[in-house]
Amino acid sequence: MTPNPQSRPRLAAGVRLGQNNNQQVLLMPERALRLNGPSLQIVQRCDGNHTVQQIITELQQIYSQADPKKVETDIQGYLTLLNDQRALDFE
């Protein structure tokens, strides 16, 4: 599933940011995902306000040296992964 660019992802119930040994992690039932630069920037924008398209545009600006198409594909892939983990709801 490729997420609809106009949908607004937000963290699902029981999914939240946490910290472990100065590392940001995404906490969810029976699992924790380590977040680094881009993955953290994506998750921080899954707030129910940003659309998928807005997240893509903002990260393309942050990573202006990178190929914009690759940034878009990577974000869609990461959002799909989070959704398969049931870490996101799309509104």
Partner 1 sequence: MTPPLSNPLGLIAELTHRCPLHCVYCSNPTELINRAEELPTETWSQVFQQAAQLGVLQADLTGGEPLARPDILELIRAARAAGLYVNLITSGMPLDEARLAKLIEAGLDHFQLSFQAANQETAQEISNTKSHAQKLRVLEWLKKVRVAVTLNFVIHRRNIDQIQEMLQIAESSSATRVEFANVQYYGWAFANRENLLPTRVQLDRSLEGIKSAEARLRGKIRIESVVPDYYAKFPKPCMGGWGRKLMLITPNGEALPCHAAKIIPNLQFANVKQSTLSEIWERSEAFQKFRGESWMQAPCKTCDRRTIDFGGCRCQALLLAGDAATTDPVCTLSPNRPKVDAILTDLNNSVGAGFVYAEPPSAPPADATLTKPAWLYRPNPA
CB of 4 or CB of 61, closer to partner 1: 4
- Those residues whose C-beta lies under 8 Å from the C-beta of residue 8, and which sit 6 or more positions away, are 48, 49, 50, 51, 52, 90, 91
Interface mask toward partner 1 for 17-46; x: CB under 8 A: -xxxx---x-xxxx-x--------------
Tell which positions 43-62 bind partner 1, by CB under 8 A: none
CB of 47 or CB of 84, closer to partner 1: 84
CB of 30 or CB of 64, closer to partner 1: 30
CB of 63 or CB of 78, closer to partner 1: 78
Pull the structure tokens for residue 9.
């992802």
To partner 1, the closest distance from the beta carbon of 61 in angstroms equals: 29
HEC-encoded secondary structure of 28-85: ECCEEEECCHHHHHHHHHCECCCCHHHHHHHHHHHCCCCCHHHHHHHHHHHHHHHHHC
Binding positions for partner 1, rule: CB under 8 A: 1, 12-16, 18-21, 25, 27-30, 32, 83-86
